[in-house]
Amino acid sequence: MTISVMLVDDHAVVRSGYRRLLELEPDCLVVAECADGDAAWAVLQQRQASQVDVVVLDLSMPGRSGFELLRRIAQRWPDVRTLVFSMHDSPALVLQAIKAGAAGFVTKSSQPELLVAALRRVAAGQVGVLSPDIAGVSGATAAPAPHLALSSREFQVLLGLVGGDTIDAVAERLFLSAKTVSNHQTQIRHKLGVSTGVELLHYAKLHGIAMS
């Protein structure tokens, strides 16, 4: 079986490296590559995702966030598998990515052959595929951190806020109203037990949540 792959990363050099790596594999075919989430969403809609088996996705991109694209793909095309390939390795980000619909998560510090192996496992239908450096991440702990109770949408809002975006900027990026984002912010602060933006930022840094 040939695995049809879409590459989504805002760095052209990185995408080129992905493509060269996968072109060496007889069972992998790169059918599309995009520099941001908006372009990737447009391609998937145009092709109705029929030509894509696995999306290899970075989380940190301009425009539509990687988390937003991940969530939308999982909701609209559950048969399209998503493998996150990111420089970030905090347990919070890994767990939220899996929660949002990612079938696997591989860090960019991993050896190239690990990405290819993970791609094949994800294409075969496996879920929870993690690179060895984050393989110990588990959502089951004796005292779960408060941020694990956030919904996928709340986590996306949190990432925007601690990344320095205003409520209006977060709303525009996530295609929400400013009022909705403000309401999410209130719920986030309540769930995390913080009262101010400074406390929210401190919490994010403490738990390795911020991607900027």
**CB burial string 140-166: b at 16+ within 10 A, e below:** eeeeebebbebebbbbbbbbbbbbebe
d(CA 134, CA 72): 25
Question: What digits encode the pLDDT tens for the residues 44-103?
Answer: 998 766 789 999 999 888 777 788 899 899 999 989 999 999 988 888 888 888 888 999
The whole-model pTM stands at 0.74
Q: Looking at residue 91, what is its pLDDT?
A: 83
Q: Looking at residue 3, what is its pLDDT?
A: 95
Domain boundaries, the chain: 3-134, 146-206
CATH number of 3-134: 3.40.50.2300
Q: Looking at residue 195, what is its pLDDT?
A: 87
Q: Looking at residue 144, what is its pLDDT?
A: 61
182 exposure class (CB count in 10 Å sphere: 0-12, 13-18, 19+): middle
Q: Extract the residue ranges of the chain whose pLDDT is less than 50.
A: 139-142
Q: Looking at residue 140, what is its pLDDT?
A: 42
Domain 146-206 has CATH 1.10.630.10: no
Three-state SS sequence of the chain: CCEEEEEECCCHHHHHHHHHHHHCCCCEEEEEEECCHHHHHHHHHHHCCCCCCEEEECCCCCCCCHHHHHHHHHHHCCCCEEEEEECCCCHHHHHHHHHHCCCEEEECCCCHHHHHHHHHHHHCCCCCEECHHHCCCCCCCCCCCHHHHCCHHHHHHHHHHHCCCCHHHHHHHHCCCHHHHHHHHHHHHHHHCCCCHHHHHHHHHHCCCCCC
Q: Looking at residue 48, what is its pLDDT?
A: 67
Q: Looking at residue 49, what is its pLDDT?
A: 67
